[in-house]
Homo-oligomer: A and B are copies of this chain.
């Protein structure tokens, strides 16, 4: 429920007060966490960034930790959602892998701020560690797909599987460093490029 609520576009706050709804507060919190780190961020700093009082934020959430949890849930929920899509569950392993990689690129672009936050977590708190564990479960599901495609004979077996997986995610995750929505790269063209490079390589 929270996950779908926070994905809503910015709408006027409830009760007719000026300011931000939960989605807007969350966006401000994610930006602050990403710029200054979770540890260095306080509700007061998030309030200052948004031009709100601390009370206006506490009207929506109980703590800084809850904002972090909601933001990470947004990124992780979207990634996990890809794994439950029919294209990720039915068919040849290579096709399911392709579906999941394309889905991961889409999520990364659609949820760029919260995925960026997830990728930069340091794991200093319980909420961060729980998110990192969820993230590892997602990675493991992709690794299993890669293993299945290798067994199927569609993926090459002369690259160390763990190295292949890390390089693949290194490539995909690096997109957050330079991709800006609304820029010249359309997300589907970007996903095509990622899949071509990852599956077929640069050499003609």
Contact = CB atoms under 8 A, between A and B. Distances in A.
B159 A196 contact: yes
What is the count of identical protomers in the complex?
2
A140 to B, nearest CB: 15
Interface in A144-193: 146, 153-160, 163-164, 166-175, 177-178, 185, 189-190, 193
A136 to B, nearest CB: 12
Contact of A203 (B94, B167, B177, B193): B94
6 contacts: A154-B203, A155-B203, A155-B204, A167-B171, A170-B171, A199-B202
A35 to B, nearest CB: 10
A198 interface: yes
A197 interface: yes
Contact of A202 (B155, B170, B189, B204): B155
Contacts of A171: 167-168, 170-171, 174
B199 A164 contact: no
Query: Binding site of A, secondary structure by majority: helix, strand, loop or mixed?
Result: helix
Interface of A: 94, 146, 153-160, 163-164, 166-175, 177-178, 185, 189-190, 193-194, 196-204
Contacts of A157: 204
Contacts of A177: 170
A143 to B, nearest CB: 13
Contacts of A154: 203-204
A159 B199 CA distance: 13
Q: Which of A158, A169, A199, A204 has the most CB of B within 10 A?
A: A204
A174 B169 contact: yes
Given A94-B203, A155-B203, A160-B193, 12 more contacts: A155-B204, A156-B203, A159-B202, A163-B190, A164-B193, A164-B202, A167-B175, A167-B193, A167-B194, A168-B171, A173-B174, A199-B201
A156 B193 contact: no
